[in-house]
A = this chain, B = another copy of it.
């Protein structure tokens, strides 16, 4: 019998998940809830499910799992509530912007032995997953260095920046998770440099838009993350991993694989410039993995602990910039 789903949040990413659930033969989208009734109704209409309140979703025994796509500041509360209600939970990253709150929340999840998967969608991108699989297959020997370049096409509006928790918790957090995913050892120390070069307004808000972060593991493995809030040529998402026997790299994605050559040279089109087109397949695979974990009664990954650890790296980066030193992750998670 298909897994019954409730969707919390009918925004942009909610729609993506709704489609993914509906088209998966092992799942059934039962209901959707949103503070904006029209948004919920639109999805309900399109996917043939009902629009309900969160209370109703919580109470419905036909709903085995929820997908949380509501605003960040509601995540922890909803996770606790649905853990308590005995539902499996998929929650968009982050669980919360506060380490303390995340730990509290994960304790509740643990108490109820609830299934919790956190939405680090990039782990499911076929190209990045291909990198991971090449590593696991021994193609490059022992991992030594992970280099991640991750640049947004353009900075978000000031209002978004204000609520974001800062670039490390909002943007770099994806790269922290990816670094953990690929390093094969847990990073224990962080050094970061940061500046506001793209938009002075971002600096005035106390945030950065151009940052570089170094991570290291107990065995000396290193990761290096380079972020900018602006790349005129598109959404620049590259990973390379150096190992004892070689290197594996994932290239950028374009909508068009064409090239024009003339007296000015050879020109290929810019990259895909929107995270939802760049990661279309990743979002679909992510929900499919959650459904498969539930259907096969296996643990779901990335876990709440993965969410916590990525956030701790972000916190360490914040402190590294503030104090001009290498920060131990143990200082954060102590």
Residues of chain A touching chain B, judged by Cβ–Cβ distance below 8 Å, are 126-127, 130-131, 134, 139-140, 142, 144-145, 147, 149, 151, 189, 191-193, 195-198, 210-212, 214, 216, 219-222, 224, 226, 228, 230-233, 236, 242, 244-253, 255-270, 324-326
Cβ contact within 8 Å between B196 and A220: yes
Closest to A242 in B: B228
With A145-B212, A212-B222 in contact, do A151 and B242 touch (Cβ < 8 Å)?
yes
Cβ contact within 8 Å between B266 and A270: yes
Cβ contact within 8 Å between A224 and B226: yes
* Chain B residues, Cβ within 8 Å of A142: 197
The 15 listed contacts between A and B (C-beta, < 8 Å) are A126-B255, A131-B258, A145-B210, A191-B214, A193-B216, A224-B226, A233-B261, A233-B265, A245-B263, A246-B261, A247-B262, A248-B258, A249-B261, A251-B259, A265-B267
Docked CA distance A245–B246 (Å): 26
- A256: shortest Cβ distance to chain B, in Å? 4
Cβ contact within 8 Å between A149 and B151: no
Cβ contact within 8 Å between B258 and A134: yes
Closest to A224 in B: B212
Cβ contact within 8 Å between A250 and B246: no
* Chain B residues, Cβ within 8 Å of A262: 139-140, 232-233, 245-247, 270
Number of copies of this protein chain within its complex: 4
Partner of A198, one of B244, B258, B269: B244
Cβ contact within 8 Å between A260 and B232: no
Docked CA distance A260–B266 (Å): 10
* Chain B residues, Cβ within 8 Å of A189: 193, 324
Cβ contact within 8 Å between A270 and B264: yes
Cβ contact within 8 Å between B267 and A264: yes
* Chain B residues, Cβ within 8 Å of A214: 191-193, 212, 214
* Chain B residues, Cβ within 8 Å of A257: 127, 250-253
Closest to A234 in B: B261
With A233-B247, A242-B231, A266-B233 in contact, do A139 and B260 touch (Cβ < 8 Å)?
yes
Docked CA distance A26–B193 (Å): 47
- A323: shortest Cβ distance to chain B, in Å? 8
Docked CA distance A210–B270 (Å): 32
- A278: shortest Cβ distance to chain B, in Å? 12
Closest to A250 in B: B258
Partner of A256, one of B130, B198, B221, B256: B130
Closest to A328 in B: B324
Docked CA distance A325–B324 (Å): 6
- A261: shortest Cβ distance to chain B, in Å? 4
Cβ contact within 8 Å between B269 and A265: yes
Docked CA distance A222–B251 (Å): 23
Docked CA distance A310–B253 (Å): 34
With A144-B210, A255-B126 in contact, do A220 and B195 touch (Cβ < 8 Å)?
yes
Partner of A220, one of B127, B210, B249: B210
Cβ contact within 8 Å between B212 and A195: no
Cβ contact within 8 Å between B216 and A232: no
Partner of A193, one of B127, B191, B248: B191
